């Protein structure tokens, strides 16, 4: 199942009428059907409809001039270049080409009449154009009446060839309207066919600014159609899912109240609410696909454990999957602590465990002896077989690809019954994303932290004041608190990152005599990591030096101080996750972000956002603004077709309209709806179909 691979191979025959040579380049641009080429819209336009007198052309502005060459020579100083001079009735202009072909030299031979498009500037030789676009013309040759589109292209494919290809395709295309007339009328939308043709070939008097800012009605129509296609496809997918079957899991009242009685806390009302939503889904004979989102520390794990009881009470199994070994290990510890007293067996499965333990875990999963199996992505590998899986819990879901999640769900397939899926995330999805890419998921949100949490004070401290920070760590630990020291992320080299962590550990150990300084990083074995984390949790280690492996899920309430080195290198959600490791107990907590000057603009902005905001939703929203949706979604692995034209923030209103129209169309105009999806997505929403 590799839809990306498929979509890159398009035989030239896919584009009837387009020159073979051109067609073979189109695949490189990701274009596989004539409609893709039709939607390959210009980046900008050049105005060749007017000629400006040389004397009147404004400097620094793109203009077209026409004149006759009266002088042309190749100079060798300071380097080889072609310099030609031309004049019109108003003045003279130099043309300078630093790289040129003999054909261009011929084009600029004395006596030639040429039109040049470029920016005039004051150069060494007076007014000049450097590397303008040059076209040889006859005297009095007609000017084009339309603007000239400039397309995104790829090396080897000229604008001229691309323009010709688009022209041929548009010429034979029948772009029937896919929206019902009533919708077009109600929303005052421009026609689709007219919009596309205008964007490829605008008349000279078009509102060029609106065109380039993509606010022109023609652009609005394209964006609307794109958003609508996405909404429809998500909705259709959801309908198909509603038709799929799963085992209905009625409540587990007895088990649940026994678990709750054993807890040292009671659920917040937000936890109770989301649990009710989840139980409601589980009780239905359709597979649940619910995203449980809640800020770092909001208490998602206990909700997942209570949901697990519904499957266990029905004598079925639950798989709990986490993206890192440390996090999986913590879940394992929690699930055991909560479930074993109820007589429920919990097994542990990772890639790094010894063969014998692994074999035992595999056997327990297959026989059903383990009601709960906790692990990393090892859980959905092929040889793992679940005897009676009914619920898969996936923590930090955005770190797994769609395919991995799917694989785990299919493991639970029992005949035509699928397992239920509960996904969890501490990176809340901003509203516009939830409405678009996650429109096929049900979302539950824990919008309240457990009582007794103290807000974390965030400090931005320059690297030059490192000594002060070390002193602060010493004081905090002397008072019986614990601290984290997070080493910088070094993306280019894991080796270097490891070395930095080891060095930092050595330096801090030497600087803080009498203090027990621990070290945890990605290269430790699962057992080693677990041992360090256990010692930290037990208070035997006061200061834990760590790489970003502790980013998610670590839970030590006595840790009240976090130092993050080179905070300027980290992303917003990463910083938020790290900071969420403190402020979990009753003590006052602080997070110190050490940064090194000079700060890039974006780093400065990120640090400002994290400094000013403690709310994960707000931070995720800002993150979306800074980075675009791709990163947030884990685009490369999400398998979801990305938006090409619409922008989730700028076009949020259009998105809401598209959502409403999608509902209307599915109900009243199902044929229009399927034609629209077919036009925009072709076969490309394959992954969403399962
Ligand atoms: P996250 O949502 O980030 O995964 P966890 O599930 O790890 O958060 O919970 C964070 C901590 O809060 C854990 O120690 C958990 O036992 C505790 N906790 C969860 N719910 C409550 C509650 N209602 N009251 C007090 N503590 C709670
Ligand atoms: Mg968690």
Give the number of the ligand closest to the Cα of residue 451. 1
Give the number of the ligand closest to the Cα of residue 306. 1
Tokens of 272: 């109770």
Mean pLDDT within 560-572: 92
Beta-strand (E) ranges in 547-619?
Answer: 559-564, 589-595
Residues 6 or more apart from 683 whose CB is under 8 A from it? none
- Looking from the CA of residue 300, the nearest atom of ligand 1 is 2
d(C-alpha 133, C-alpha 231), whole Å: 43
How much distance in Å is there from the Cα of 302 to the middle of ligand 1?
7
d(C-alpha 356, C-alpha 114), whole Å: 81
- Better pLDDT: 387 or 352: 387
The C-alpha torsion from 375 through 378 and 383 to 387, rounded to 10°, is 20
Chain segment 617-626, per-residue pLDDT in tens: 788 878 877 8
| Secondary structure element (H or E) that encloses residue 218, with its range | helix 217-243
Residues with CB under 6 A from ligand 1: 265, 267-268, 271, 294, 296-302, 426, 450, 555, 584
Chain segment 182-203, per-residue pLDDT in tens: 999 999 999 999 999 999 999 9
d(C-alpha 534, C-alpha 537), whole Å: 5
Q: Which CATH class is domain 50-143?
A: mainly beta
Beta-strand (E) ranges in 254-297?
Answer: 289-294
Cβ-count burial 290-299 (b if 16+ within 10 Å, e if not)? bbbbbbbbbb
d(C-alpha 434, C-alpha 442), whole Å: 9
- Exposed, middle or buried by CB within 10 Å (0-12, 13-18, 19+), for 191? middle
**Within 581-641, where are the H helices?**
601-612, 616-627, 629-633, 635-638
- Looking from the CA of residue 268, the nearest atom of ligand 1 is 23
d(C-alpha 62, C-alpha 47), whole Å: 8
Nearest CA owner, ligand 1 atom 14? 555
Contact in structure between 583 and 555 (CB atoms under 8 Å): no
- Exposed, middle or buried by CB within 10 Å (0-12, 13-18, 19+), for 574? buried
Residue 272: closest CA among 308, 295, 303, 249: 303
pLDDT at 437 over 80: no
pLDDT-derived band at 631 (thresholds 50, 70, 90) equals low
Nearest CA owner, ligand 1 atom 13? 299
Mean pLDDT within 4-28: 71
Beta-strand (E) ranges in 420-556?
Answer: 420-425, 442-446, 456-462, 482-486, 517-520, 543-546
pLDDT for res 3: 35
Q: Give how far Cα 584 sits from Cα of 76, 552, 631, Å.
A: 72, 14, 28
Q: Give how far Cα 422 sits from Cα of 292, 306, 322, 405, Å.
A: 7, 12, 12, 10
Give the number of the ligand closest to the Cα of residue 322. 2
pLDDT for res 636: 38
Contact in structure between 301 and 331 (CB atoms under 8 Å): yes
Chain segment 99-133, per-residue pLDDT in tens: 888 888 999 999 999 999 999 988 776 889 999 98
Residues 6 or more apart from 373 whose CB is under 8 A from it? 317, 318, 319, 320, 346, 347, 348, 349, 361, 364, 365, 379, 386
Contact in structure between 448 and 298 (CB atoms under 8 Å): yes
Thinking of the domain 456-613, which architecture would CATH place it in? 3-Layer(aba) Sandwich (3.40)
pLDDT for res 309: 98
pLDDT at 406 over 90: no
Q: What is the pTM of this model?
A: 0.70
Chain segment 258-307, per-residue pLDDT in tens: 999 999 999 999 999 999 999 999 999 999 989 999 888 889 999 999 99
- Looking from the CA of residue 452, the nearest atom of ligand 1 is 25
């Amino acid at each position: 199942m590799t839809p990306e691979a498929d979509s890159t191979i398009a035989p030239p025959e896919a584009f009837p009428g387009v020159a073979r040579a051109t067609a073979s380049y189109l695949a490189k641009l990701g274009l596989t059907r004539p409609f893709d080429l039709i939607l390959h819209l210009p980046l900008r336009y050049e105005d060749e409809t007017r000629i400006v007198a040389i004397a009147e052309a404004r400097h620094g502005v793109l203009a077209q001039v026409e004149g006759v060459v009266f002088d042309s020579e190749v100079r060798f100083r300071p380097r080889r270049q072609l310099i030609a001079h031309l004049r019109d009735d108003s003045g003279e202009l130099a043309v300078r080409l630093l790289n040129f072909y003999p054909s261009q030299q011929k084009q600029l031979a004395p006596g030639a009449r040429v039109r040049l498009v470029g920016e005039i500037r004051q150069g060494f030789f007076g007014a000049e154009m450097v590397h303008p676009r040059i076209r040889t013309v006859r005297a009095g040759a007609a000017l084009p009446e339309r603007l000239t589109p400039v397309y995104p292209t790829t090396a080897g494919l000229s604008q001229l060839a691309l323009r010709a290809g688009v022209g041929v395709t548009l010429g034979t295309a029948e772009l029937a309207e896919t929206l019902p007339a009533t919708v077009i009328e109600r929303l005052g939308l421009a026609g689709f066919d007219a919009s596309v043709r205008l964007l490829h070939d605008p008349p000279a008097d078009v509102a060029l600014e609106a065109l380039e800012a993509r606010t022109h009605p023609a652009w609005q129509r394209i964006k609307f159609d794109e958003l609508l296609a996405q909404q429809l496809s998500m909705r259709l997918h959801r309908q198909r899912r509603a038709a799929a079957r799963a085992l209905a899991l009625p409540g587990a009242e007895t088990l649940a109240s026994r678990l709750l009685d054993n807890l040292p806390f009671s659920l917040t009302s937000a936890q109770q609410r989301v649990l009710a939503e989840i139980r409601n889904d589980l009780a239905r004979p359709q597979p649940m696909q619910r995203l449980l989102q809640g800020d770092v520390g909001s208490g998602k794990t206990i909700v997942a454990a209570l949901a697990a009881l519904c499957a266990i009470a029905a004598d079925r199994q639950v798989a709990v999957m986490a993206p890192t070994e440390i996090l999986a290990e913590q879940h394992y510890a929690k699930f055991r602590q909560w479930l074993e007293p109820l007589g429920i067996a919990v097994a542990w499965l990772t890639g790094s465990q010894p063969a014998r333990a692994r074999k035992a875990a595999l056997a327990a999963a297959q026989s059903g002896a383990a009601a709960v199996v906790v692990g990393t992505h090892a859980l959905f590998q092929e040889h793992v077989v679940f005897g009676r899986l009914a619920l898969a819990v996936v923590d930090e879901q955005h770190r797994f690809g769609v395919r991995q999640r799917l694989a785990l769900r299919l493991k639970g397939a029992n005949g035509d019954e699928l397992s239920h899926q509960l996904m969890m995330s501490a990176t809340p999805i901003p509203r516009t994303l939830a409405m678009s890419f996650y429109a096929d998921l049900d979302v539950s949100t824990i919008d309240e932290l457990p009582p007794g949490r103290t807000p974390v004070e965030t400090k931005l401290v320059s690297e030059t004041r490192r000594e002060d920070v070390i002193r602060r760590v010493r004081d905090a630990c002397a008072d019986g608190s614990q601290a984290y020291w997070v080493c910088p992320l070094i993306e280019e080299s894991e080796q270097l990152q490891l070395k930095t962590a080891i060095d930092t550990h050595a330096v801090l150990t030497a600087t803080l005599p009498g203090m027990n300084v621990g070290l945890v990083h990605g290269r430790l074995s699962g057992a080693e990591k677990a041992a360090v984390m256990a010692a930290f949790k037990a208070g035997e280690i006061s200061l834990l030096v760590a790489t970003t492996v502790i980013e998610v899920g670590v839970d030590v309430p006595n840790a009240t101080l976090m130092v993050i080195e080179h905070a300027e290198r980290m992303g917003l959600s990463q910083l938020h996750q790290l900071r969420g490791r403190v402020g979990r107990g009753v003590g006052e907590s602080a997070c110190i972000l050490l940064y090194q000057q000079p700060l890039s603009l974006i780093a400065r902005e990120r640090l400002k956002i994290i400094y000013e905001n403690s709310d994960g939703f707000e931070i995720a929203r800002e993150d979306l603004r800074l980075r675009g949706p791709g990163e947030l979604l884990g685009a490369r692995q999400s398998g979801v077709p990305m938006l090409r034209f619409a922008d989730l923030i700028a076009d949020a209103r259009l998105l809401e309209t598209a959502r409403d129209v999608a509902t209307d169309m599915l109900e009243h105009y199902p044929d229009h709806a399927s034609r629209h999806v077919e036009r925009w997505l072709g076969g490309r929403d394959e992954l969403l179909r399962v």
